[in-house]
Structure 1
């Protein structure tokens, strides 16, 4: 009997993990479609193709589902932005640095649109609000670190203000990105990059001019904004 229990225990655990993943995937779809407030455990169970009783074996309510889903996404998000906002070489062109960050962040949000639906809605469930605030603060610090490379002599308050503007512009653009698909989505991603570069380029140019370095931004084609530095 103990041998049988040892064999069935891991199998039961594996089945349980698969069921949890199935329910979380269903919840993500429901939250994106109807929003967190208007969703229900019955809708999530229906989307998952299971009975409400099966759902309640794993989660007592929809808030518990949202918190588990949010925890997993926050963990993945932390790992991603740690890589996306890694230290930048000062010789890196501005458009290249901006493009790399935008690509990483939009890829994450396009893979997990429920992250935006949960974290930027008016009713973030439970303690996710506190976790999101902590993530936001760390994210802002990471953006400041990247921007400081291009504004090495700017006061800290200016760097913080610029970082907050970039984050605000990104969030506004992300909503448009997520509301489209296919080639239109890609077009909006490119537009978002251009908006950020066109905001940052004059700020960087002014900083470099004040410190003996000139930076010029040329818009050669609608999709190709390049940066040229001259000593």
Structure 2
């Protein structure tokens, strides 16, 4: 049997090294934030020399852009899981659970997403622009869900409710990620879902009917 061609072996090693550096960068960004992070800190986290890091990335911005691209791609897929197959006939608590569970799971698996996307304004412009596009897509998907729940709302009301719902989720996710894994985090997740249900519950209330006076 012939050996694997050397270029393919080098390519596989290179991909593994890139993944190692991105994982290290994610840990550093979570710990210090993007602005305070440095290539030296990322190299130390990855247990490689700065020279090795520079073979793959010219600077911190390039690392952040590559990491951000991968996270945003996965977040777009998560949006699909959250909204594409949701059954709008579900009771509100089950509907909220079905939509939020993929989003919560993604953020718990990738804490660098919030650290990089919702951190300081120093992140590279390309990441900020692409994150804004994903943010707008999320608002649109939430707005579409709200329209199915409360079709009588006008566009302005629906947009405000969608923005407030997303704000509650983002604030709750910060608390979820700050909680230790286990019962405390599970309890925080339950509280986040409960907060969203309580906020949206009035939209499910049947309209009040007035009885004609005799």
Give the TM-score of the pair, scaled to structure 2: 0.92
Give yes or no for contact 2:87–2:95 (8 Å, CA) kept in 1.
Answer: no
Q: Could you tell me how far 1:87 is from its partner in structure 2?
A: 5.5
Q: Deviations over 1:176-228 (max 9, x none)?
A: 001012211111110001111111111321xx31599xxxxxxxxxxxxxxxx
> Which runs of 5 or more structure 1 residues have no equivalent in the other structure?
213-231
Question: 1:48-197 counterparts in 2 under 5 A?
Answer: 48-86=46-84, 88-122=86-120, 123-181=122-180, 182-197=182-197
Q: Could you tell me how far 1:90 is from its partner in structure 2?
A: 3.7
Identify the range of structure 1 (90-99 vs 48-57) with the bigger mean alpha-carbon deviation. 90-99
Q: Deviations over 1:75-99 (max 9, x none)?
A: 0100110120126444211111111
Give the TM-score of the pair, scaled to structure 1: 0.85
Q: Could you tell me how far 1:147 is from its partner in structure 2?
A: 1.5
Q: Distance in 2 between matches of 1:186 and 1:44?
A: 31
Q: Deviations over 1:104-132 (max 9, x none)?
A: 11100000000000000122223101001
Q: Distance in 2 between matches of 1:44 and 1:62?
A: 9
RMSD over aligned CA atoms reads 1.8
Q: Which has the higher strand share?
A: 1
Q: Distance in 2 between matches of 1:151 and 1:47?
A: 49
Q: Distance in 2 between matches of 1:29 and 1:90?
A: 38
> Which runs of 5 or more structure 2 residues have no equivalent in the other structure?
none
Identify the range of structure 1 (74-83 vs 150-159) with the bigger mean alpha-carbon deviation. 150-159
